[in-house]
Amino acid sequence: MDIKTYSFEPHGDDRGQLVALEEYKDFPFAVKRVYYIYDTLKDVVRGHHAHKCLKQILICVHGSCRIHLDDGHETAEVLLDTPTKGLYIENDMWREMYDFSSDAVLLVLASELYDESDYIRNYDDFKAFVASKEN
């Protein structure tokens, strides 16, 4: 599976670190929405969905978590454990977020506003969506 990750350049100096991200320069879309997930309880698995249009960049800005990706044919696991690593998830990808450290803060940059009608929350519907795009 083709997984797109970014290694963001930190502007480190003797005061500490800073990462700056600009749309279309550091990732390939404009940001309409930002949200973050934190205080996730042990053994919780979030996500369990794909999107019809939405594109996202995931960055674990503190702590760590793992992302399960499924393109309808193959699966992959990605560890996010540094604020300099970004994971690009395009629309038609089933995703689950799990194994959150107790201090994890998962920042998400999203290409669209929140729209429940863009979600595909049933795995069989996701497989049908992938198949319909391939035919």
Residue 67: CB minimum distance to ligand TYD, A:
11
Query: Which residues have C-beta within 8 Å of that of residue 1, sequence separation ≥ 6?
Result: 69, 71, 73, 74, 75, 76
Report d(CA 37, CA 27) in Å as an integer: 20
Q: Which of 11, 49, 51, 62 is catalytic?
A: 49
How are the residues of the chain apportioned to helix, strand and coil, as percentages rounded to the nearest 5? 10, 40, 45
Q: Per the structure block, which two tokens stand in for 26?
A: 């550091």
Q: 98 with 79: CB under 8 angstroms?
A: no
The contact mask relative to ligand TYD for 106-125 (x = CB under 6 A, - = no) is: --------x-----------
Can you spell out the DSSP letters for 69-88? EE-SS-EEEEEE-STTEEEE
Query: Judged by CB under 6 A, does residue 10 bind ligand TYD?
Result: no
Partners of 65 in the β-ladder? 80
State yes or no: residue 38 binds ligand TYD (CB under 6 A): no
Q: Of the two residues 46 and 127, which places its CB atom closer to ligand TYD in the complex?
A: 46
Q: Is 49 a catalytic residue?
A: yes
Number of residues that bind ligand TYD (CB under 6 A): 7
Q: Which is nearer to ligand TYD, 113 or 135 (CB)?
A: 113
**Residue 10 or residue 47: which is nearer to ligand TYD going by CB?**
47
Binding mask 41-60 for ligand TYD (x = CB under 6 A): -----xx-x-----------
Interface with ligand TYD by CB under 6 A: which residues?
33, 35, 37, 46-47, 49, 114
Catalytic residues: 49
